[in-house]
Copies of this chain bind each other. A is one copy, B any other.
Amino acid sequence: MLRAIEGVFERYGFSPLQTPALEYSDILLGKYGDDAERMLYRFADKGGRDVCLRYDLTVPLARVAAQYGNLPMPFRPYQIGPVWRAEKPGRGRYREFLQCDVDIVGSPSLLADAECMAVDNDVLSALGVTNFTIKLNNRKVLTGLLESLGPAASSGENANGILRTIDKLPAAGEKAVRRLLATDNGLDQSTIGRIFEFLGIEGSNEQMLAGARRFFGPSEAGAEGISELSDVLARAAGLGVPEDRVRIDFSIARGLDYYTGSVFETFLLDLPGFGSVMSGGRYDDLISMFVGREMPAVGISVGVDRLFSAMAELGLIKPSKSVTRVLVAPMSTEAVRPALESASRMRAAGRATEVYLEQAKLKKQLKYADQRGIEAVVILGADELAAGEATVRLMTEGEQIQVPLGDLPARVASLLG
């Protein structure tokens, strides 16, 4: 699964990057928002340094991009590594899990946003997942919405708080979110009504864009977000993302504070309620928090344990019992040395090969091969050795073929195909 994902990443010209799991706490704090910060694994290390296990791969990447100021831009890394969140584990949700991220740092081009969606589409397709929707929104639409509602809704931390509340809509439902917008975010009923009027815009992507254009005046901040959405949609289609897989959804806010433009989440249509398996967005201001100059960036992240868990529920994971394709079975102590040599030659020819490690009867060795789903057993008994041959048993067919020892790798290769 990871190799398929890496393969897609590399076809888009992303290069591997690894960053440490531990970061100084002041690097991570103030980047995600309160809900996320409560999930940080934070402690003092042996030298009394205040450190955290990373919460995602994005903020560490931003730290690296800021620290190594002379990186050639755009910088296109991909990362595969564990992240930690101290939350209640659940279906496909673990405290430690693996993220696979691509990021394009140093370009404001909306082509980069569309590339992230194309990577999303290609990763799922490469894994055999076909029935999914990439939900697309733009933070500028939401901040534009809040600006249109006046200073109480659009000022700094309160705006982020409102977006985090809106982000709870799929999980908590409209009623709870309406209540939280009043109690936690201090909005009056008419403002809340206006928010839900906007979130209620429905229809095809074109209809959603048209509805939002009508909602905002052409000069309003939200209009820029609408224009970006329209551009990103066209670019993603150009990159081969099927148009019916992308849906504008104005309620997609993403819970993390650092997003500034496009935001995406990906849902498996056969697992309603499972949550997003791939998500990301544009974060043009995060790196500049470290480096003090503009460095726009966009990225997307596969939650690979989540996705694995989902694919297992959908029956899309074919469990493999072993990577071994050939077992070499020495039938006596005299046969061990030729068995080892035969195995070495099979491995040198690129064939995954095991030698049965103990002295055992053939029946036991064949049973082992059968349990592991091993396709061929190379049997080396006294008769075979005297003749300079091996018996190759094809496990599925039960067929046995005599093969001269010198021809083993080539013959086994042709027998296994």
Inter-chain contact B239/A336, CB cutoff 8 Å: no
A84 to B22 alpha-carbon distance, docked (Å):
10
Inter-chain contact A96/B238, CB cutoff 8 Å: no
Q: Which of A177-185, A217-225, A344-352, A376-384 contacts the other chain?
A: A344-352
Inter-chain contact B235/A340, CB cutoff 8 Å: yes
A343 to B119 alpha-carbon distance, docked (Å):
12
Inter-chain contact A13/B322, CB cutoff 8 Å: yes
With a cutoff of 8 Å between Cβ atoms, the chain B residues found around residue A43 in the complex are 41, 43-44
Q: Which of A103-111, A167-175, A255-263, A388-396 contacts the other chain?
A: A103-111
Nearest-neighbour CB distance to chain B for A237, whole angstroms, equals: 9
Inter-chain contact A323/B15, CB cutoff 8 Å: yes
With a cutoff of 8 Å between Cβ atoms, the chain B residues found around residue A147 in the complex are none
What residue in chain B is nearest A22 (Cβ atoms)?
B96
Residue A416 lies at the interface, judged by CB distance under 8 Å to chain B: no
A14, A72, A357 — which one has the most chain B CB atoms within 10 A of its CB? A357
Inter-chain contact A104/B347, CB cutoff 8 Å: no
With a cutoff of 8 Å between Cβ atoms, the chain B residues found around residue A115 in the complex are 355
Inter-chain contact B340/A238, CB cutoff 8 Å: yes
With a cutoff of 8 Å between Cβ atoms, the chain B residues found around residue A122 in the complex are 347
With a cutoff of 8 Å between Cβ atoms, the chain B residues found around residue A336 in the complex are 111, 235, 238
Residue A140 lies at the interface, judged by CB distance under 8 Å to chain B: no
Residue A91 lies at the interface, judged by CB distance under 8 Å to chain B: no
Inter-chain contact B341/A240, CB cutoff 8 Å: yes
Interface residues of A in 33-79 (CB under 8 A from B): 41, 43-47, 53, 72, 74, 76
- Complex partner residue of A13 from B96, B240, B354, B358, CB under 8 angstroms: B354
Q: What per-residue 1/0 map shows which CB atoms of A224-259 lie under 8 Å from chain B?
A: 000000000011001110000000000000000000
Residue A372 lies at the interface, judged by CB distance under 8 Å to chain B: yes
Residue A385 lies at the interface, judged by CB distance under 8 Å to chain B: no
Residue A300 lies at the interface, judged by CB distance under 8 Å to chain B: no
Question: Assuming A109-B357, A336-B111, A352-B13, is B344 touching A240 (CB within 8 A)?
Answer: yes
Residues of A in contact (CB 8 Å), total: 63
What residue in chain B is nearest A330 (Cβ atoms)?
B111
With a cutoff of 8 Å between Cβ atoms, the chain B residues found around residue A86 in the complex are 45-47
With a cutoff of 8 Å between Cβ atoms, the chain B residues found around residue A112 in the complex are 357
Question: Assuming A118-B344, A235-B340, A341-B240, is B82 touching A353 (CB within 8 A)?
Answer: no
Inter-chain contact A11/B239, CB cutoff 8 Å: no
Residue A162 lies at the interface, judged by CB distance under 8 Å to chain B: no
Inter-chain contact A14/B323, CB cutoff 8 Å: yes
Residue A324 lies at the interface, judged by CB distance under 8 Å to chain B: yes
A336 to B111 alpha-carbon distance, docked (Å):
9
Residue A12 lies at the interface, judged by CB distance under 8 Å to chain B: yes
Nearest-neighbour CB distance to chain B for A406, whole angstroms, equals: 16
Chain A residues in contact with chain B, CB under 8 A? 10-15, 18, 20-22, 41, 43-47, 53, 72, 74, 76, 81-82, 84, 86, 95-96, 98, 104, 107, 109, 111-112, 114-115, 118, 122, 234-235, 238-240, 320, 322-324, 336-337, 340-341, 343-344, 347-348, 350-355, 357-358, 371-372
Q: List 30 A-B contacts (CB under 8 A).
A: A11-B351, A11-B352, A11-B353, A12-B352, A12-B353, A13-B353, A15-B323, A18-B98, A20-B96, A21-B82, A21-B96, A22-B41, A22-B95, A41-B43, A45-B86, A46-B86, A47-B86, A76-B324, A81-B82, A82-B82, A111-B336, A111-B340, A111-B357, A114-B340, A118-B344, A235-B340, A238-B337, A239-B340, A240-B344, A240-B348
